[in-house]
Amino acid sequence: MLTPEDIDSIVRNAAEKLHSHYVYPDRGEAIAQGLKTHLEQGRFQTCTTPEELSEQVTAVLYELSSDRHVRLRYHAAGAPELSFDPPSEEVIRWWREEERSTNYGFNRLERLKGNIGYLELLSFSPAYFAAETAIAAMQFLTNTDAVIIDLRKNGGGDPEMIQMISSYFFDEVTHLNSFYHRPQDSTQQSWTLPYVPGKRLLKQPIYVLTSSYTFSAAEEFTYNLKNLKRATIIGEVTRGGAHPGGNVKVHDLFTVFVPTGRAINPITGINWEGTGVEPDIQIPAEQALEHAYQDALQKVLASLPEHAAHDRQRKEIFEARQTLVAES
C-alpha cells in the first residue's frame, strides 16, 4: 500500500530528474512543473497500488510531453540502482542475466522455403552482451538469398546492436545516425563497422517488418535502412520514439525513464519522434510477413540462373508460392 508521503516523494523525485536531464531543457522544466501541479491538485492521491500510480503518472507524463519514452515504472522485486553514471558491476550482472533469459532478443531464426532467411528480433540487446549471438545469427543468414527481419514485436534496445547488425548489410563504412546527448552536451555519430566477423550480406534484398508497436531502437534500425535505401519496409507506421535515455531510480520500487538525447539522421536531418517511421508498403502488420515473403520469392526466382544446381530451389519457390496463394 502506498502512503501519501510515498506518492509525493516518488512524483517529486521523478519531476526533479526530468527537469535536470530531459533532452530539451525548457521542455524538461515544463514537464516537471506540470507533473508537480498535477500532484498538488491531488491527481495521484487516489492511487492505492504501485501499478495504478505507474499508470497514472505515465499517462500524465505523456499528456505533458507527447514523448512515448517518458514513463514511471514499478519494480516489484526492487528498483535497480540506476543513474546517469556508468552502471555498477552489480547492475551489469543483473542486466546481462535479464537479457540472456530472452536469448538477447533473438527469438526466431530460420530458413524459409526458397532459401529466404527470417529473423524475428524482439529487442536490440547491448552488443557487449549479445555479440556472439548476433554473429551466429548473421552467419546463418549469409547463405540465404533474401532476408526478412521481423521487428513487429520489437520495443527497442541498444544502438550498438543496431550498428553491429547493420554493418553486415554494407560494404563501405556508412554513416547510420547521430545522437545529441544533453548530459555531455555532445553529438555522437554512429557508422557501420569496418570489420565484422564472418561474411556480410551485400547482395541479398532486405525486408523489415513493422507494426504500431515497433519502437525506439527498432525504429532507428528501420529509419536508417529505409533512408539508405538498403531495405524495403513493410507493415504499419511505427510508434514514434526517437529520444534515447535511461531509467533512473526515484524510489526503492520505482524508476523513471528520462530521455536525454535525440536522433539526427544524416540524410533527412530529422528523426521519427512523434511521427513514427512510414513503411514503403503500408499494410496491416499481420499481413506483412506474407507480403514480404511473396516479394522475396519473386525476386529470388527472377535472379536464379538457368542451371541444374538451382532446380531444387526453384521447385521450393513454386511450392511456397502455391501454399501462400492457397492460404490467402
Average pLDDT over residues 171-193: 97
Joined together, the cell numbers standing for residue 74 give 514499478
- Taking residue 183's Cβ as centre, other Cβ atoms within 10 Å add up to 15
Average pLDDT over residues 188-192: 98
Q: Is the pLDDT of residue 138 over 70?
A: yes
Q: What is the pLDDT of residue 95?
A: 86
Q: Where on the phi/psi map is residue 235: left (φ > 0), alpha (ψ -120 to 50), or beta?
A: left
Q: Is the pLDDT of residue 302 over 80?
A: yes
Per-residue pLDDT tens for 60-99?
Answer: 999 999 999 999 999 998 887 766 667 778 878 888 999 9
Average pLDDT over residues 245-261: 94
Average pLDDT over residues 275-298: 98
Q: What is the pLDDT of residue 327?
A: 86
Per-residue pLDDT tens for 307-325?
Answer: 888 899 999 999 999 999 9
Q: What is the pLDDT of residue 16?
A: 97
Cell 538457368 appears where? 306
pTM of the model: 0.91
Cα-only R_g, the chain: 22
Q: What is the pLDDT of residue 63?
A: 96
Average pLDDT over residues 104-108: 98
Share of the chain above pLDDT 70, in %: 98
Confirm if 142 and 153 have CB atoms less than 8 A apart. no
Q: Is the pLDDT of residue 239 over 90?
A: yes
Local confidence band at 139 (pLDDT 50, 70, 90 cut-offs): very high
Q: E-strand spans in the chain?
A: 71-74, 106-112, 116-121, 146-150, 175-181, 186-191, 206-210, 232-235, 245-251, 254-259, 261-264, 281-282
The overall average pLDDT reported for the chain is 95
